[in-house]
Structure formats: C-alpha cells, structure tokens
Chains A and B, each alone.
Chain A
C-alpha cells in the first residue's frame, strides 16, 4: 500500500498534504493571478487617489460586509464538514457541504443584486478605472465561487462505490479550494470597499 492509497484520517501521524497534492498547483497559481491583480490595482490607485476614493464611496460596505460574513461562516462549516468525512461521519459531512453550497448561493445572489443596482445607476465597467477593477476583481472571484460551489456539489454527490480514501481526498480538495475563495474575498473586501 503506497501513501496515495492510505485513507486520510484526522490523526495522521506523518504530516500529509490535504487533497490531491498536485491540486495545490491550481490553488497557488490562482492566488498568484489574484496577487498580480491586487498589485496592479494598488499601482493604479497610487496614480489617481482622488478618483479611487470618490468611486469607492459609491460602493455599499454593508453589502461587502454581509458577503464577508457569509464566506467566513461557510469556511468554518466546510472545515467541520471535511473533519466529519475524516472521522467517518459522512452524513454529517454531507450536510455541512450542503450548508456551504447554500452560503455560496446566497453570496452569488447578493453579488448579482449588487451588480444589478450598480448597473441600474449607470456604474458600468466602462465608467472609470476603479469600476473596471471592481467588476474585474469581483467578477473573476465570482467565477471561482461558482467553480468552488460546483466542486463541493460533486464532492457531496460522490458515489459511495468510490474508494473511501479517494472520496475524502476530493472532499479535502474542494474544501481547500473553498478556503482559497474565502481568503481572496478577505483581501478584495477591504481593497475595494474600505481602504
């Protein structure tokens, strides 16, 4: 039995990379992409501070805060869910993953409503450079929210015929991806709505 076939548990004696180790290439590359965009945003902001300050005031921090709270809660729930899978309580794990997907759906709903309001009051990606970045950053993040929720859905719908080790590793990967989605939002929220 090689290391890849072992069933992940909570009490692994040797340190182990959660999920499919190769999948971290995806997570790190995505974070590098966003890191690059945050940097570009800050450079542009340094060029035209008054415009960015004025445009930022047009965003509603309450909406951003609601979404932050939602994602932080969902991150806790997904942590609990992955843990249940590891100890073998898969029913509880599935319920937790489902609750995470509900949080994701709410996040998407709030985001789409926010976009609707902004577009209705004439604030489009072409309005100015701040709103270009606002739509680009939150839009790309939203794509990741949808991808993460889809992965969680496939994780909880996995057939019980699959080997338990492979099943848990996929749940772990979906969980880690979801933490990344949360982490990126925690940077985007102050960057766009607060600073």
Chain B
C-alpha cells in the first residue's frame, strides 16, 4: 500500500498551486513595471522613451518577477501532463505535445522581457528604444501560438476520455476549447496601432489575459479534485488486481 507516498501528494498540490501563483506573480510584476494597463501602441517616440526611462528600475524589477513566473507555469503544466498521461495511456503523443508547448509558453513569458532590459541597459537613441518596446509588446501579447496548441491538446485529451468515470470532468474540456478560441485574436496585434486588436485592446489584451488567468485558476481547482480522487482510483484498481471483489 505504498502508493499514497509514491503519488507524492504534497508535491502535487504545490505544483497545482503554481498555476495561480504564476498568474499572481505575472500580475504583480506587470503592475510594478507600470505595464498594467499596457501603454498605447500609438504613443510617440518622445513619450515612449520618457515613460521607459522614468520607470527604468521599476520596469527591471517588475519584469524580473515576470521572468520567475515562467518556470512556475512549467511546473504546473508538468503536473497537468502527468494526469493527462493517465487519460491517454502509454502512447501519449498529445500529452507530450501539450507539455512541449507549455515549456515554450514558459519561455515566451520570459524572453520578451529581455527586450526591455536591452532598451534600458545603456543610453540609446530613441528610435532603438521604441523598436525594442514594440518588439517586447508585440511578442509578449501576440505570441499565443504555443499556448493555443497547449489548450487544444488539453481539450482533445479530456474530451476523448469516454470512460464511465473520466479523470477530468467533460465541461473542463469544453471550457478549454473556448479559452483556445479566446486567446487567438491576440495573435493579430502586429496589425493595429489602436482599437480592440491593438496590443492594449479589449480583444488582443484584456480578453487574452482574462482567458489565460481564468483557465489557470479553473485548471488549479480541477486538478485539486483529480489529485484527491487519484489515490481512490488507484487503490480501487489494486484491490481489483489482487483478485478481491470490488466493494
């Protein structure tokens, strides 16, 4: 009956909590950096440079917290992958596809911050500053290509589980489909200087961050249930294998 310890439940609960923790860290980091709400893309060169240099240290410190959240998100996704593996079985193509994309999500919330670090590293000409600022925002807000596929993989795995006692609830699979749709418009932010599709717009920013945050919190609560039930299911299976009649 060693399986309760083999399941490393305390580690699992901490890993699950890392989803919301990543969101909180990202939020706190961005608020510290004065990046929430995001500055308008239509701001001119002078204004942008003044903004970046006025808050140089706050931006560096806030974005460092954002950088730390990347690994937290990966740990959370690895836990999710372990449970998606249980659904998918041995030939777990989609779970691995999912975790590879999650790792790239962890990377892409870190990488664009370095554009702002480069911009603030030494005194630079305003044109270069605004270029780096554009690179940071367009990449940070618009690079949804990996998180989109992560959501698609999660949804497909969960919805393909047709067993009588599915490991993940079906509504969670359907919810993840709409989250995948909800983040997609942000990928078009390179076209717009203002309006809902710009990097600070209703569709390209606010919908995107709302979707990502609510998915992370929902997944956290779903995972709590999955972890809690895991022991029961496995204990049941062991009894069954031992030849004792279930119940």
Interface residues of A (CB under 8 A from B): 20-26, 29-30, 33, 36-37, 40-41, 44, 125-126, 128-129, 132-133, 136, 140, 143
Contact = CB atoms under 8 A, between A and B. Distances in A.
A136 B187 CA distance: 13
Interface of B: 169-175, 177-179, 181-182, 185, 191-197, 201-203, 206-207, 210-211
Given A40-B196, A129-B194, A132-B192, A25 B207 contact: no
Contacts of A132: 192, 194-197, 201
Contacts of B210: 36
Nearest to B174: A26
Nearest to A32: B178
Given A126-B191, A136-B196, A37 B202 contact: yes
A30 to B, nearest CB: 5
A136 B179 contact: no
A195 B171 CA distance: 36
Contact of B175 (A29, A128, A129): A29
Given A22-B173, A40-B202, A30 B195 contact: no
Contacts of A30: 178, 181
Nearest to A173: B174
Looking at chain B's contact residues, the main secondary structure is helix
Nearest to A140: B185
B177 A33 contact: no
A56 B143 CA distance: 32
B205 to A, nearest CB: 11
A84 to B, nearest CB: 26
Contacts, number: 77
Contacts of A25: 171-172, 174-175, 178
Nearest to A33: B182
A143 B182 CA distance: 11
A29 B178 contact: yes
A22 B207 contact: no
Contacts of A136: 185, 195-197, 203
Contact of B171 (A22, A133, A143): A22
B170 A129 contact: no
A71 B181 CA distance: 22
A37 B205 CA distance: 12
A174 B193 CA distance: 38
Given A29-B175, A40-B202, 16 more contacts: A22-B171, A22-B174, A23-B170, A23-B174, A24-B171, A26-B174, A26-B178, A29-B179, A33-B211, A37-B202, A37-B207, A40-B203, A128-B195, A136-B195, A136-B203, A143-B181
A110 B71 CA distance: 47
B192 A126 contact: yes
Nearest to A144: B181
A136 to B, nearest CB: 5
A41 B206 CA distance: 13
Nearest to A131: B195
- Considering the complex of A and B, which 10 residue pairs feature the smallest CB-CB distances, nearest first? A132-B195, A22-B170, A22-B171, A40-B202, A26-B174, A29-B178, A25-B171, A25-B175, A25-B174, A129-B195
A74 B49 CA distance: 54
Contact of B177 (A26, A41, A44): A26
Contacts of A140: 185, 203
Contacts of B194: 129, 132
Contacts of B172: 22, 25
A125 B197 contact: yes
7 contacts: A24-B171, A24-B174, A25-B171, A26-B178, A36-B206, A37-B196, A140-B203
